[in-house]
Amino acid sequence: MSRVFGDLRQLGYVVRDIEAAMTYWIEVNGVGPFFYIEHIPLASFMYRGRPSMPEMSIALAFSGSAQVELIQQRNDAPSMYKDYLDAGQEGLQHVAYWPGDYEAAMAAAAAQGLEIGQQGDIAGRGGFVYYETRGHHGTCIEFAEYNAYRRYQFSNSR
């Protein structure tokens, strides 16, 4: 458990081919089945303080108490996902925490010196924020609101 942000809830992988990634996770790692959402209904999205609107598909599955998220961006809108792929990377892009007090967690992140890289809201599912990895290169941190939707997801998906 993170002393600052709570329990680690999710491992987020940015991939170029989500169907191939799901097949890999199911056949090689034995993780699945995946809940696949072809078009994420973003209500809002900001990348480095500017509006953007990436089109994304995601797939979600559990491995024990950790959720595995696969993300494929399907357009060229600015995002940290696109940055990751443009840098020649594919794979684990973020770890996520779902704090009970989302605003307090964001204040704690700011106090730690973390800077927001992107944030948004998924219609009907709540907000999320990703922090830049300027202090080190590699996996970034995401917070997602631990609301009724995610509580249901965690209690019924394992």
Cβ-contact 118, 130 below 8 angstroms: yes
Q: Residue 134 pLDDT > 90, yes or no?
A: no
The pLDDT-based confidence of 149 (bands split at 50, 70, 90) is low
39: domain CATH number? 3.10.180.10
Q: What is the pLDDT of residue 156?
A: 54
Structural domains in the chain (count): 1
Q: What is the pLDDT of residue 1?
A: 46
Could you tell me if residue 120 is inside a domain? yes
Could you tell me if residue 1 is inside a domain? no
Q: Residue 55 pLDDT > 80, yes or no?
A: yes
Q: What is the pLDDT of residue 6?
A: 83
Average pLDDT, the chain: 89
Among 50-54, 82-86, 105-109, 143-147, the minimum mean pLDDT is found in 143-147
Could you tell me if residue 3 is inside a domain? no
Could you tell me if residue 2 is inside a domain? no
The boundaries of the domain holding residue 124 are 8-157
Instruction: DSSP letter for 108, please.
Output: H
Instruction: DSSP letter for 110, please.
Output: H
Q: Among the ranges 54-58, 124-128, 129-133, 148-152, which has the highest mean pLDDT value?
A: 54-58
Mean per-residue pLDDT for 123-137? 83
Q: Give the closest residue to 98 by CA, choosing from 59, 53, 61, 66.
A: 66
Could you tell me if residue 80 is inside a domain? yes
